[in-house]
Structure 1
Amino acid sequence: MSDSAAETALLAQMERLAPPAVRLGCRLIRAGDEALLLPEEAVALPARRLVARRASGAARALARGLLAAEGMTSVAIGRGPAGDPLWPAGFAGSLAHDDEMAVAAVARKADIASLGIDVEPAEPLPDEIAALAVMPGDVLEGVHPRLAARLLFSAKEAVYKAAYPLDGEILGYEHIGVDLARGEAVTARGRRMRLSFCLLPRIVVLAVAEDQPASR
């Protein structure tokens, strides 16, 4: 499959995930994508390995394109102290990549308080990682067992990205409960998330924060 066909196939599945207010995009990571970083972005990533800078260039270029569609042009997406991307005022967003594909999500905060996205290959999760990510209260029903643990791992990554801008807390896998059957997640603080996902051609999970944390 060509690069453009691979991107088109994934984007077609991703577009089924998002509420109307959310813009989503994907891009295969290519040699030279590190040059897509704006100068302000490159300064924030000086010590990262080339492969990481390349993935960041692909993801940030993708996100800048989504922001441009909202009228925000030539906006640098910096990096906060915790490694979180810094978005222009009035916008929520999220970036992710695996070894081959970068994805991004953007929305206006007037519509979506916060969101998170994650991408993973459509392959079983290694047992040693599954043992860390899957908690006794997690619900994996409704998803093919071959991919359920990988999907849950990806969902927790997306939830963390959506929760951190709102609550400023570092969350472990044990701090996030996921119900794949209901498409829901909740953090230890009580922050509830709506989940939507696709499994093929890659696993992509979008987490969208509810308006208020739930009562403890």
Structure 2
Amino acid sequence: MTLPPSPEGALTEAMAAIAPPGVRTGCRLIGDADEAHLLPEEARSISARQPAMRRASGAARWIAHRLLADIGIGNVAIPRAPSGAPTWPDGIIGSLAHDDDMAVAAVARVGRIVSLGIDVEPAQALPDDISAIVATGADRTGAADRLLAGRILFCAKEAVYKAAYPLDREILGYEDIAVDLDAGRATTKTGRKVRLAYCVAPRVVVLAFVGE
């Protein structure tokens, strides 16, 4: 009898299926001792003292270290910048994210894609009060699962912000990002065009990327 894939295995496959060429993705269920995966420079750069936050940061960076090693880049720290964004090695773009239980990462060499954003959320309906803040009349959720459309939209806008901020250095609110899930694109108030891809297996993950 073939066993179903683990949550990590299922999400790993789903993310690989939506990632554009050249982008590597990975995930990890956050473990009790994952803060131990922070390299010294990384640990110093993360001011949060809450154990859960440090474990999540360690899990996300563990994934990123493995993805970087796969392309021949080893023993490189990914410290947190004052803005909160991870600082990548020269010639590398990437993004990290986590919810309460799962961490994800995406990395690529700079090339046809010049910026990346990723976000992860539980595959659950977004509370109505948060949905009212996130969604605008310019958003299009189209064929997305009606129960999860708000959550996917929230995840998409978080990922778009991560992809757009390094390029434009512009603080964006949810109302500043218009998302069209069917078309796989978003536009920010600055006019930045961002491509989108998402999966729901077993969590919602959205990849946002900007090409040359």
**Partner Cα distance (1:36, 1:45) in 2:** 13
| TM-score calculated relative to the size of structure 1 | 0.94
Gaps of 5+ in 2: none
Letter in 1 for 2:44: V
Q: Superposition pairs for residues 160-175 of structure 1, below 5 Å? A: 160-175=161-176
Say how many residue pairs are matched.
209
Q: Is the 8 A contact 1:10 1:201 kept in 2?
A: yes
Report the Cα offset of residue 91 of structure 1: 0.5
Instruction: Tell me how far 1:199 sits from its aligned partner.
Output: 1.4
Instruction: Please say if residues 176 and 187 of structure 1, whose CA atoms lie closer than 8 Å, have aligned partners that are also in contact.
Output: yes
- Give the C-alpha shift of residue 111 in structure 1: 3.2
**Identity percentage of aligned residues:** 58
Alpha-carbon shift at residue 178 of structure 1 (Å): 0.1
Q: Take 1:6 and 1:184, find their aligned partners in 2: how far apart are those partners?
A: 27
Cα distance, 1:70 vs structure 2: 1.1
CA distance in 2, matches of 1:155, 1:31: 28
Report the Cα distance in structure 1 between the residues aligned to 2:153 and 2:47, rounded to whole angstroms. 32
Which amino acid letter does the alignment assign opposite residue 99 of structure 2? D
Moved over 3 A (4+): none
Give unmatched runs, 5+ long, in structure 1.
Answer: 212-216
RMSD: 1.2
Classify the secondary structure of the residue corresponding to 1:74: coil
**How many angstroms apart in 1 are the aligned matches of 2:62 and 2:185?**
30
1:125 equivalent to 2:116? Answer: no
Give a deviation string over 1:49-84, Cα, whole Å, max 9, x none. 110000000001100111111111001001111100
Tell me the residue number matched to 1:214.
none
User: Are 2:24 and 1:28 aligned?
Assistant: no
Q: Which amino acid aligns with 2:129?
A: E
Match of 2:39 in 1: 38
| TM-score of the two chains, using structure 2 as the length reference | 0.96
Amino acid of the structure 2 residue aligned with 1:116? G
Shift of 1:139: 0.5
Q: Name the aligned partner's letter for residue 174 of structure 1.
A: E
Distance across 1 between alignment mates of 2:146 and 2:48: 39
Question: In structure 2, what is the equivalent of residue 178 of structure 1?
Answer: 179
What is the distance in 1 between the residues matched to 2:167 and 2:159?
14
Q: How many angstroms does 1:6 deviate by?
A: 1.6
Aligned pairs (5 A) from 1:62-141: 62-141=63-142
- Displacement of 1:149 in angstroms is 0.5
- Does structure 1 residue 49 correspond to structure 2 residue 50? yes
